[in-house]
Structure 1
Amino acid sequence: MKSFIEQVHYIRLPVKDLELSAQWYRDVLGLQLLNITEERAVIKVNEGSFLLILVSTGDETYAHFTIDNEEAFSIGFTSPKLSTFLQHLMDNQVKVEDILKDDDGHAYFYFYDPTGNKLQVHW
C-alpha cells in the first residue's frame, strides 16, 4: 500500500518565552522567522518546506523525552561544519555537549534551546 502521507511538514516545540525563542532560532541558528503571534512562531528551515512551530507554554514541558531517566533528543539537524557550529553556539552562550562519534563514523553533538529542549546536530 502506498502511504497517504507525503512528507513531514512541521514539528511543534514548546517554549517558555516565545519572543526570546523566536529570536534565538533566527539569530543563533540562522533560520528564517516567517511570522509570530502571541501563541506561536513559525520558523522555516532553509529552502525546504519543513517548519518548526514554536508554541508558547507556561507548562514544565519539553520536546525531548527520557530513556532510563536520561534525556533523549527528538529533533536532529545536519551540518557539514560541526566544529565551527559548536564554536558558534558556545560563542552565543548556548548549552552544548562535546562532539561524539558513533561506530559508523558519524559525528554529532547535543545542544539546548533557551527553553531547554534538547536538540542534536550530526554529519
Structure 2
Amino acid sequence: MSKSFIEQVHYIRIPVKDVERSAHWYRDVLGLQLVNMTEELAAIKVNDGPFLLILIPTEDETFAHFTVNQEQEFSIGFTSPELVEFHQHLMDHRVKVDEIKEDHGHAFFHFYDPDGNKLQAHW
C-alpha cells in the first residue's frame, strides 16, 4: 500500500483505578496539561503537540504495559532533555523509579504511575 490513511497517533488510553487522583498526578508530578475530566475519563495533553493520554477508570487488574518472558515492558516512552533532573524530581515526589541506565549512548529509566503502569523516560 503506497498511501496511508493515518495522519498521526492522537491518543493512548491508560487504565487507572481513580481517574481524579491519577489525572492530578499526571498534571502535578509530570507537568502535563489536564484538558478535561469526567467520571468516564481524563484527557491529558502532552505539551504543544496533538498527542493525548486518556485515563480510563477500571476496577480490573490491568495495566498499560505488557510482559515479555514474564518481565514487564513499558508501552509509553517520554523524551526528557533533562533526564537526571527529571529522575530526581520523580524521586522527590516518591514515585517508584528505576536507576538511570545507558545503552549505546542512549540514557533511560523506567518509572511507574500511581496505578502501576510502567513508563519510560529517555534521552
- TM-score class normalised by the smaller sequence: over 0.9
Shift of 1:20: 0.7
RMSD: 0.4
Please show how residues 24-103 of structure 1 align to structure 2 within 5 Å: 24-103=25-104
Cross-structure match for 2:114: 114
Shift of 1:39: 1.0
Letter in 1 for 2:114: P
List gaps (5 residues or longer) in structure 1.
none
List gaps (5 residues or longer) in structure 2.
none
Cross-structure match for 1:3: 4
Task: Look up the SS of the partner of 1:22 in the other structure.
Answer: helix
Taking only the aligned residue pairs, the percentage that are identical comes to 71
- Cα distance in 2 for partners of 1:2, 1:122 equals 31
Task: Look up the SS of the partner of 2:72 in the other structure.
Answer: strand
- Cα distance in 1 for partners of 2:3, 2:46 equals 27
Q: TM-score, normalised by structure 1?
A: 0.98
Cross-structure match for 2:13: 12
Q: TM-score, normalised by structure 2?
A: 0.98
- Cα distance in 2 for partners of 1:21, 1:54 equals 8
Render the CA deviation track for 1:50-100: whole Å, top value 9, x for unaligned: 000000000000000000000000000000011100000000000000000
Moved over 6 A (4+): none
